[in-house]
Structure 1
Amino acid sequence: MKADVAKFVREKLGHQPKDLRLFELALTHASVGTDNYERLEFLGDRVLGHAIAQALYDRYPKEPEGYLSRRYNVLVARETCAEIGRELGIPSLVRLGKQARDDGANQSENVVGDVVEALIGALVIDGGTDAAVQFVGRIWGSHLAEQRKAPKHPKSALQELAAERECKPPVYEVVGRTGAHHHPKFTVRVSVPGLGEATAEGTSKQEAETEAAEALLKQLQ
C-alpha cells in the first residue's frame, strides 16, 4: 500500500512526499476509523476554492462577478472533483471499511470527490500552498480551457425558463432513497406546472436535483 501511494503521489500529483502518512490519510475513508481524510478535506476544499477563483480572475479579466461565479460553481462541484479523481485513478487506492467496500463506496462521487480535496490538503501541509495551487492549475487546466462561455447551472436555467414561460417555479421532491448511510442514492422528481416533470438519481440530494433539472431541460428543448 505504501509503495502504491508513494508512486501515485509522485506520478499523479507530481510531488515528492516528505510525510507519506499524510497522503495515506487523505485516501482513508471514515468507515476505517477516526483517522481519516475529513480534516484534510476541510483544508483542501478551501485551497481548491482559492486556486480556482484566482485562476478565473486572471483568465477572464473582463467578465463580471456573476459569470465568474457560474464558472467557479461548476469547477469546484462534487461532480467535477469526482471526475478528476477517476482520471487520477483514485477509486483503486481509497481505503475503506468492509461494509463500505462491499457497498462500492470507492465509486461514489461523494467519496472520490472528497478524497481529491483531501489530497489537496495533504499537498498544502507537505509541500506548501504553492505546490497545492500548482497542482490544481495543472489538473483543472483542461476543465478551465473547455469553458468557452460561462456555464449556467441546470437548476438556475430551469427556473429562468419557467419564469420566461410564466409558470410557477420548479418544485423538487425526494421520492426515494436507497443504499447505506455512507453511500446513499437519492431519487428526486422535479415538476413545473404547465411544463412537465422529470426524475433522476444522485449520490446526494443536490446532485439528484441537478440531474433532474437537466433531464427536464432536455425534454423541453
Structure 2
Amino acid sequence: MTGIPPGSRRYHELQKLLQRLGIESVNINWNLLDQALTHSSFDPQCNYEPLEFVGDGVLRLLAADYLWHHYPQTSVGDYTALRSVLVSNRLLRQISEDYGLADFVLASTRLSPQGIWLADILEAVVGAIYLSVGSTKVLQPCFYPHWHKSAQRVLQDPARLNYKNALQEWTQEHYKVLPTYQTESLSGTPERFMARVYVQKRLLGVGQGESIKAAQQAAAQQAWVVLVGEVE
C-alpha cells in the first residue's frame, strides 16, 4: 500500500472520519487507518482483516476497563454478560452505522448496507488507532456513550440479554433437560438463518438472525418469555 500524501483527498477523508469518531488525529498512522478501511475485494493482500484481529482484543480490553470503572459493584457473571453485549457484532454494526463508517470504506463490490462487515471494519479501525497511539484511552469518547446506553439496557433485563443461557438455566432447574435447536439457512434476506427451539419436544420459539448464534438467541428469547409467563 502506498503512503497517504498529506493534503490528498484520501487524507482529508480519513481526518473527517476521526472527527466523527471524536478522536484526535495526532500520531495516527494514516496508512494503517487506510488499510483498516480497505475491503478484501479492493485489495486482497493489504486489507482490514489483520487489523480486525487486533481491534477485537483491544475492544475487549476497553470494555473490561469501562465496566470496571463504571460498574464496580457488579458481579463477575454480569460483567461477562455486559461485555458480550458491548463487543457484539450487532452493537458494533449499529455504532458503525451511527458514525457512517461505510462512507469511508474502499471496496470493489457492492456490500450489504447492514452486513456484519461493518462490525469487522470498525474493529479494524480500532486496531489501527491503537497501534498508532499505543493506548485505549483515545478510544473512550468513541465507545463510552454507546456502551452506557447498552449497559443500562442489559442490567434492566432479567435475562441479561443472553436468552440462550437464561433458557438453559430455566429448563435445567424446572425440567432437568436442555433445550434443543434446529437451524436452517435462509436466502434473500440479511437475516441468513432461522432457528427453532424445543423443550421436551415442544416448539417454544422461532427466531431469525444474521448468524446461527443470533437466530438461536432470538428463538431462545421467545421460549424464555413463554416459560416465564406460564408460571407467573
TM-score by length of 2: 0.79
Residue 213 of structure 1: aligned partner: 220
The one-letter code of the counterpart of 1:82 is R
1:199 shift after superposition: 2.5
CA distance in 1, matches of 2:70, 2:202: 38
Taking a change above 3 Å as real, the CA distance of residues 206 and 128 of structure 1, as seen in their structure-2 partners, is: same
Question: Is 1:30 matched with 2:36?
Answer: no
Residue 137 in 1 paired to residue 144 in 2? yes
Structure 1 residue 161 corresponds to structure 2 residue 170: yes
Q: Which runs of 5+ in 1 are unaligned?
A: none
| 1:154/1:210 contact within 8 Å kept | yes
What is the distance in 2 between the residues matched to 1:97 and 1:184? Answer: 23
Mapping 1:111-190, distance limit 5 Å: 111-129=117-135, 130-133=137-140, 135-149=142-156, 151-166=160-175, 168-178=177-187, 185-190=192-197
TM-score by length of 1: 0.83
The answer (yes or no) to whether the contact 2:20–2:99 under 8 Å persists in 1 is no
Question: 2:216 is matched by which residue type in structure 1?
Answer: E
In structure 2, which of residues 114, 118, 141 is the aligned counterpart of residue 107 of structure 1? 114
- CA–CA distance in 2 between the matches of 1:186 and 1:148? 28
The SS at the match of 2:183 is strand
**Alpha carbon RMSD of aligned pairs, Å?**
2.7
Amino acid at match of 2:204: E
Deviations 1:73-97 (A, max 9, x none): 1111111111111111123333333
Q: Which residue of 1 aligns with 2:97?
A: 86
Specify the alignment match of 2:5 in structure 1.
Answer: none
Deviation, 1:36, is: 1.2
**Residue 75 of structure 2 is aligned to residue 75 of structure 1:** no
Contact conserved, 1:190 with 1:199, CA < 8 A, in 2? yes
Alignment coverage as a number of residue pairs:
214
Structure of greater Rg: 2
Report if aligned partners of 2:85, 2:150 keep a CA contact under 8 Å in 1.
no
Amino-acid identity (%): 26
